[in-house]
Amino acid sequence: MLAAYDETRKRVKRRRHRYPNGHIYFISRPDDLSYPVKVGYSGASLYMRLANVQVGCPYRLAVIESCPAHHSLELRLHLHLAESRMIGEWFARSPALAAAMRAAAAEELDTLLGVRPIEAPIAASPPPAKKRLRGSARVLEVASARPVSTQKPYSPPAMKAKTKKAPEA
């Protein structure tokens, strides 16, 4: 069991976004055109994200614009809008931000940022999944994969028989 535990501890998980395909959103006050805009990415529900942002704001916020996008597009968009950044993901209204919102409405945000879609997959198709063993079969598989030692295995010294000595009189 210890061998299987060691094997699982050594595995490194790659850092991936939970939802790679979601939405880029623009959240702000719909009634005030001077209010800053939060530009971000949400893989889950846009309106759940709006509810989370609304908690920290005393004004009524709304999703002004959104478009489906990959999560890597958010970073490119933030770099594109860097001159109008206020703090975090909040941006002052500017011509660049207005152009980004128009591009999002037309779902052409990737062309605005100069991102070309990938025509063909980069990697070959993945190998067929191997059924993973469980329990004692997994322990035996991991133990058999370990290198065998050439040294003599440890054996404890033989236990000497202890006899009670008779008390001396």
What's 54-85 look like in SS3? HCCCCCCCEEEEEEEEECHHHHHHHHHCHHHE
Spatial separation of the C-alpha atoms in residues 90 and 79, rounded to whole Å? 13
- pLDDT greater at residue 28 or residue 149: 28
Max Cα distance, the chain (Å): 110
- pLDDT greater at residue 32 or residue 8: 32
* Span 150-166, pLDDT tens digits: 677 666 676 555 555 66
Q: Are 157 and 23 in contact (CB under 8 A)?
A: no
In this prediction, residue 147 carries a pLDDT of 72
In this prediction, residue 136 carries a pLDDT of 80
Spatial separation of the C-alpha atoms in residues 52 and 97, rounded to whole Å? 23
In this prediction, residue 35 carries a pLDDT of 93
CA 21 to mean position of chain CA atoms: 12
pTM passes above 0.75: no
Model confidence at 14: pLDDT above 60: no
DSSP one-letter string for the chain: -HHHHHHHHH-------S-SEEEEEEEE-TT-TTS-EEEEEESS-HHHHHHHHHTT-SS--EEEEEEEEETHHHHHHHHHTGGGEEETTEE---HHHHHHHHHHHTT-HHHHTTPPPPSS-SSPPPPPPPPPP-THHHHHHHHHHSPPP-SPPP-PPPPPPP-PPPPP-
In this prediction, residue 12 carries a pLDDT of 38
* Span 52-76, pLDDT tens digits: 999 988 999 999 999 988 888 888 8
Spatial separation of the C-alpha atoms in residues 166 and 145, rounded to whole Å? 55
Q: Are 69 and 110 in contact (CB under 8 A)?
A: yes
